[in-house]
Amino acid sequence: MIKYLNSLKRVLVILSCILLLIGLAGCNSTPSRLTESQLSSYFADNQFANHNKYYIESAKDIFTLDDDIKKTIRRKISSTHSHEERVKRLMTEIIGKPNKDYIYSGAADLTASEAYRYKTANCLSLTIMAYSMAKEANIGAAFQEVFVPEFWTDRQGQKLANGHVNLRLFATQHNHIYHHSIYTKEVDFAPEVNSQSLNKRTISKAHIQALFYNNRAANALIEGDLDYAYHYLKQAIELHPDDSPTWSNLGLLYKRRQLIALAEKAYNKALELDPNNLTPLDNLAVLYKQQGKLALSKSIQDKLKTKRANNPFYHQYQGDLALESGDYLAAVSHYKRAIRIAPKHDSFYFGLARAYYSLGDNNKTQQYLAKAKRYADFDDDSHRYQAKLNMLGN
């Protein structure tokens, strides 16, 4: 079992549809510059099943659209030669509106064609879909990593730390001497993310492919398939060795397989690439505690607490932990601190309502459920809060 903060399990994964209000993290990344021999020293093929047993999707599998989807795009775009109109038409008639035409599901790591057909995927997969559609429409597109604070979601009892990517569309006008951008538009499948106010950087298609593998690896970890997870992570690192979260996930995998020295090595590689990535620090603190290096573990934990003090999602996370352990008054305190930092986020109020419900205070439960509904960005969340209010009112 993987242990994290307060002995809960957590897997770091770029699932890319998150809520944020303040701060940024992970802006610095140092290229790894590993030789092939150095890179191989981080792997442990002999500890896992042969890779021939597992299918790893190719770039063609991930990015290629089915022929009928391509025909739909060409039919809707072909009637206009305006660069701006082509982008707008792609946005409104083909990609559609997040949370209206597509439903977010953190566990749905799908290819471009699958995301279009099922209309349900996580934001990484939806961004891949939008990129492939833009390319088919002869519209320029670039992937962007958006630097966001730590944020945790829960899946099957495991805490997932999330990141975020989006897409920038651009149409260009050419003449005989030069070309220049005349229209740009961001496509973001997390509309509650105010990405305009956050730092971001353009990342490569290969990096996105590696993130896709990282997501698949995290899902395999959750399901307990360590061999499949290993081969996805190895493929991700070989494709793009400079991604800190992927190295952190490799460390988690090694820890589960009791390859402690390799786990520590992978965590330190993650920190070398991005000193602002706090998750491998978390994992190192747990690892050192289990090894009896208590002073070193406590030093890291104190540093983490200081760094996270102004992150409302950290206080929400602590509230969730308190709620799960039955310390409802502590949960109330943590959720209220999150609200003081970021007062317009629905899940903070929902957590507070859950805490008061556990304390038997129905009036405050209804009060904070109503506030959660007021600040909900997604229709399904709003309906969920209303259903709970209706139940309490009966």
Cβ(16)–Cβ(165) below 8 Å: yes
**Distance from C-alpha of 279 to C-alpha of 93, rounded to nearest angstrom:** 40
Task: Specify the range with the lowest mean pLDDT, choosing from 135-149, 250-264, 340-354.
Answer: 135-149
Please provide the CATH number assigned to the domain covering 1-276: 1.25.40.10
Q: Is 8 or 330 the better-scoring residue by pLDDT? A: 330
Secondary structure in 3-state letters for 277-331: CHHHHHHHHHHHHHCCCHHHHHHHHHHHHHHCCCCHHHHHHHHHHHHHHCCHHHH
User: Do the beta carbons of residue 122 and residue 155 sit within 8 Å?
Assistant: no
pLDDT over 50 at 16, yes or no = no
- Sign of the Cα torsion 142, 147, 153, 155 reads positive
> How do 152-155 and 158-161 pair as beta strands?
antiparallel
Nearest to 221 by CA among 61, 15, 9: 9
d(CA 43, CA 163): 25
Measured distance CA(19)–CA(345) in Å, rounded = 8
- Three-state DSSP at 390 gives helix
Sort 246 into a burial class: Cβ within 10 Å, 0-12 / 13-18 / 19+.
Answer: buried
What span, in angstroms and rounded, lies between the C-alpha atoms of 174 and 214? Answer: 38
User: Considering the chain, what is the average pLDDT of its residues?
Assistant: 84
pLDDT bin (cut points 50, 70, 90) of residue 335 is very high
Give the single-character DSSP code of 143: E
Q: Alpha-carbon distance 215 to 15, whole Å?
A: 7
Do 216 and 111 touch, CB atoms closer than 8 A?
A: no
Alpha carbon 362 to chain centroid distance?
Answer: 34
Residue linked to tokens 């747990």: 286
C-alpha 144/C-alpha 166 separation (Å) is 5
Residues 131-158: tens digit of each pLDDT: 999 999 888 999 999 988 888 777 777 7
The band of 18, judged by pLDDT with boundaries at 50, 70 and 90, is very low
Phi/psi at 270 (nearest 5 deg)?
Answer: -60, -40
The arrangement of secondary structure in 312-393, i.e. its CATH architecture, is Alpha Horseshoe (1.25)
Return the SS3 of 264.
helix
- If you average pLDDT over residues 245-255, what whole number do you get? 95
Predicted TM-score (pTM) of the model is 0.83
CATH 1.25.40.10 maps onto the chain at 1-276, 312-393
